[in-house]
Amino acid sequence: MTTTVHWLSVPVEIDRERLNRVALQSGLTPTDEDTSDLLVDIQWSTEPDLTYDSLHRRPTDEAYRLDLGVTPSEHVTITVTGPRSLRWALVDLREKITDPSWVEGRIRCSPSFVTRGLIEGFYGPPWTHEARLDMVDFAARNRLNTVMYAPKDDPYLRRDWRVPHAEASRDRLAEMIGRCRDLDIDAMVGISPGLSMRYSSDEDADLLDAKIATLVEVGATSIALLYDDIPDRLQHPGDIEAFPDLAAAQCEVANRVHDKLRVAGIPLVVCPTIYWGEGDETYISALGQGLDPRIDMFWTGRAICSPAITASEAAHFARVNNRPPLYWDNYPVNDVAMTAEMHIGAYQNRDPLLARFSNGVMANAMEYPEASKIALATISDYLWDADGYDAEISWVRAITQVAGAQDAAAMLAFADTVRASCLSDPEPVALTEALQAFAFEVEYGDPDVAGEKLEAFAEEIRRAAAKLQAPDVENRTLQAELVPWLTKYELGAEAVSALATHACSDSSMTPEGVAAISHVLERLKEDDHRVFGDVLEMTLADTIL
Ligand code: GDL
């Protein structure tokens, strides 16, 4: 369903053609009809209340004001301060018009965090070019302002960093960055020379400059120098002779790169080799002291994949390292040791006060772009309004946005069974409750009723699995990414059904019952995709003890 918009007035500062393009990109169709869904009056402002971010003490181009009438078609005034502010206002209006809780009145809107982004920075097959472009569109529709390109398996940026880009790769990168520019999004590109770079070598310094010059030529608006996942001590004899330690070598290279980029107005971010911990360890504090304070430092928090991030941890990092951390948050990424998990749960355990001590968060996505969007949509909600963020509400909104309204209920039921991640207890809430209620009813109530209720739950799983695996599902790309997890989910219905049939007696089980449960348990164990946490297999194993 399209939402139409009619402009009641447009200030001279705004180019109408661009305005209509931004509206379309935000999901609004401009029309000349004054019977449209939205009637919008646009105003331009330079007032400090909208152009200054007092929390981070810097100018902002992202704030806007909405004056909402009793209904959307009655009259809406948006007061904007520039291209980004206009874009976010239109995205917000597009969201609000479908929200039944539309409230009349004046709202000043501005993001909690300065940098809000996503990273293609995982190990594994990089996204396709089309998926990457689509992800930039997704970022814009969710008011994320930064996209970082740094897949570990792009040879030109890591293993073969010295080799100049082939024309086709360069063109694809330029197109992706062009899409970012068109959508008012910063395009950050990460370069990782550290697997083989000699920090003291002039020749390597020139090659690094040449590679960075290519990235700037194709339009990168910021550069990240990534020293993660490389040897954590100096190895080359020339480096050992030239520098007291790794931090000194890395600072010299980074500060030199920063000086060059500064001339072109391009900011630099550095990712340390040890990028997690307390923030005051010897290496990181040496890096923090040695890097030019205008360089941002990536930090993943207390662990590589941090279960929680608090404002006081960020404040401690900032004190020791001369700058607030820019979080590289390893969620929803599921590479390396996490490949059996599917991270489609809501973002959680990030302090609502974090924005006071950090300029931003960049979320590292999964190799599955479509499935990543679920967590990323919740992350964007948190980053825009950390105080008002409600993980459950945001999760339902995200699932509806990505899976489609038709399949949202089935997807929520499935998503409840794949909670396992660094952020969340792996146990599925609904299934755990159903199994506990079953055991109680068998022991203290009516075993037949217990069996019927659990069978009804198995049927719910069966129905949700069938809906999500059906050819007419709304998001086919998402479906394809979830295949192995959905297959196991479907098997879970069989397992729950076997319990309902054979374990609903408080006396011992029949030999057929034991055989049926053992069989389904074996099949569940053979498939290591993380679905149903531990509770299902544990319950099955307990019943045949
Ligand atoms: C890492 C890598 C990242 C990877 C992630 C999860 C950083 C800075 N680097 O160590 O590329 O996807 O862990 O495995 O996090």
> Mind giving me the DSSP string for 283-350?
HHHHHHHHS-TTSEEEE--SSSS-S-B-HHHHHHHHHHHTS-EEEEE--S---GGGTT----SPP--B
Q: How far is the CA of 339 from the centre of ligand 1 (A)?
A: 13
Residue that is last in its domain, among 109, 142, 162: 109
Smallest CA separation from ligand 1 atom 13, residue: 304
- Exposure string of 174-190, with b = 16+ CB inside 10 Å and e = fewer, is bebbebbeebbbbbbbb
Examine the domain organization and report whether 206 and 269 are in the same domain: yes
Residue that is last in its domain, among 338, 368, 398: 368
Q: How far is the CA of 122 from the centre of ligand 1 (A)?
A: 6
> What is the DSSP pairing of strand 325-329 with strand 360-364?
parallel
> Which of 458, 409, 352, 366 is closest to 126 using CA atoms?
366
Which residues make Cβ contacts (< 8 Å) with residue 80, sequence separation at least 6? 14, 42, 43, 44, 45, 64, 86, 89
Tokens for 322, please give them. Answer: 């001369």
Cβ–Cβ < 8 Å for 39, 31: no
Render each residue's pLDDT in the chain as its tens digit; 545 residues: 689 999 999 999 999 999 999 999 999 999 998 788 899 999 999 999 999 999 999 999 999 999 998 877 778 999 999 999 999 999 999 999 887 778 889 999 999 999 999 999 999 999 999 999 999 999 999 999 999 999 999 999 999 999 999 999 999 999 999 999 999 999 999 999 999 999 999 999 999 999 999 999 999 999 999 999 999 999 999 999 999 999 999 999 999 999 999 999 999 999 999 999 999 999 999 999 999 999 999 999 999 999 999 999 999 999 999 999 999 999 999 999 999 999 999 999 999 999 999 989 999 999 999 999 999 999 999 999 999 999 999 999 999 999 999 999 999 999 999 999 999 999 999 999 999 999 999 999 999 999 999 999 999 999 999 999 999 999 999 999 999 999 999 999 999 999 999 988 867 789 999 999 999 999 999 999 999 999 999 999 999 98
Examine the domain organization and report whether 198 and 171 are in the same domain: yes
The CB-side HSE value for 423 (13 A sphere, CA atoms) comes to 23
Examine the domain organization and report whether 105 and 119 are in the same domain: no
- Exposure string of 71-101, with b = 16+ CB inside 10 Å and e = fewer, is ebbeebbbbbbbbbbbbbbbbbbbbbbeeee
Using the structure block, give the residue that is written with the tokens 């003490």: 57
Examine the domain organization and report whether 95 and 166 are in the same domain: no
State CA 119 to chain mean position distance. Answer: 8
Instruction: State which of 341, 364, 367, 368 you would mutate to test the pocket of ligand 1, scoring each by most atoms of that ligand within 8 A of its C-beta.
Output: 364
For the stretch 427-448, pLDDT in tens is 999 999 999 999 999 999 999 9
In single-letter form, the type of residue at position 316 comes to H
Tell whether 415 is covered by a domain. Answer: no
Nearest atom in ligand 1 to the alpha carbon of residue 226 is 8
Please give the Cα distance from 145 to 163 (Å, whole number). Answer: 30
What is the chain's length?
Answer: 545
Cβ–Cβ < 8 Å for 158, 228: no
Q: Greatest CA separation found in the chain? A: 82
Query: 139: domain CATH number?
Result: 3.20.20.80
Tell whether 298 is covered by a domain. Answer: yes
Q: How far is the CA of 424 from the centre of ligand 1 (A)?
A: 19
The model's pTM is 0.97
Which residues make Cβ contacts (< 8 Å) with residue 217, sequence separation at least 6? none
Q: How far is the CA of 273 from the centre of ligand 1 (A)?
A: 11
Residue that is last in its domain, among 109, 125, 152: 109
Which residues make Cβ contacts (< 8 Å) with residue 155, sequence separation at least 6? 163
- Work out how many domains the chain is built from and give that number: 3
Q: How far is the CA of 305 from the centre of ligand 1 (A)?
A: 8
Percentage helix, strand, coil for the chain under 3-state DSSP, each rounded to 5: 45, 15, 40
Cβ–Cβ < 8 Å for 294, 258: yes
Examine the domain organization and report whether 37 and 136 are in the same domain: no
Examine the domain organization and report whether 77 and 148 are in the same domain: no
Tell whether 512 is covered by a domain. Answer: yes
pLDDT at 34: 79
Q: Give the sheet arrangement for strand 28-30, strand by strand.
A: 28-30, 3-9, 38-44, 76-80, 64-68, 105-109
Tell whether 387 is covered by a domain. Answer: no
Please give the Cα distance from 24 to 244 (Å, whole number). Answer: 56
Examine the domain organization and report whether 83 and 124 are in the same domain: no
Tell whether 378 is covered by a domain. Answer: no
Tell whether 245 is covered by a domain. Answer: yes
Tell whether 396 is covered by a domain. Answer: no
Residue 221, SS3 per DSSP? coil
Query: 93: domain CATH number?
Result: 3.30.379
Residue 117, SS3 per DSSP? strand
Q: How far is the CA of 153 from the centre of ligand 1 (A)?
A: 12
Nearest atom in ligand 1 to the alpha carbon of residue 305 is 6
Task: State the sign of the Cα–Cα–Cα–Cα dihedral 357, 362, 364, 368.
Answer: positive
Cβ–Cβ < 8 Å for 306, 313: no
Q: How far is the CA of 233 from the centre of ligand 1 (A)?
A: 19
| Site residues for ligand 1, CB cut-off 6 Å | 121-123, 152, 228-229, 271, 275, 300, 304, 328, 330, 333, 335-336, 364
Examine the domain organization and report whether 167 and 99 are in the same domain: no
> Which of 215, 135, 222 is closest to 174 using CA atoms?
215
Examine the domain organization and report whether 72 and 148 are in the same domain: no
State CA 495 to chain mean position distance. Answer: 33
Cβ–Cβ < 8 Å for 523, 410: no
Task: State the sign of the Cα–Cα–Cα–Cα dihedral 381, 382, 387, 392.
Answer: positive
Examine the domain organization and report whether 213 and 128 are in the same domain: yes
Tell whether 421 is covered by a domain. Answer: no
> Which of 208, 190, 212 is closest to 198 using CA atoms?
208
Smallest CA separation from ligand 1 atom 7, residue: 228
Examine the domain organization and report whether 67 and 205 are in the same domain: no
Examine the domain organization and report whether 268 and 127 are in the same domain: yes
Please give the Cα distance from 323 to 197 (Å, whole number). Answer: 26
> Which H or E element spans position 447?
helix 447-469
Tokens for 196, please give them. Answer: 């083989």
Domain with 40, as residue range(s), is 3-109
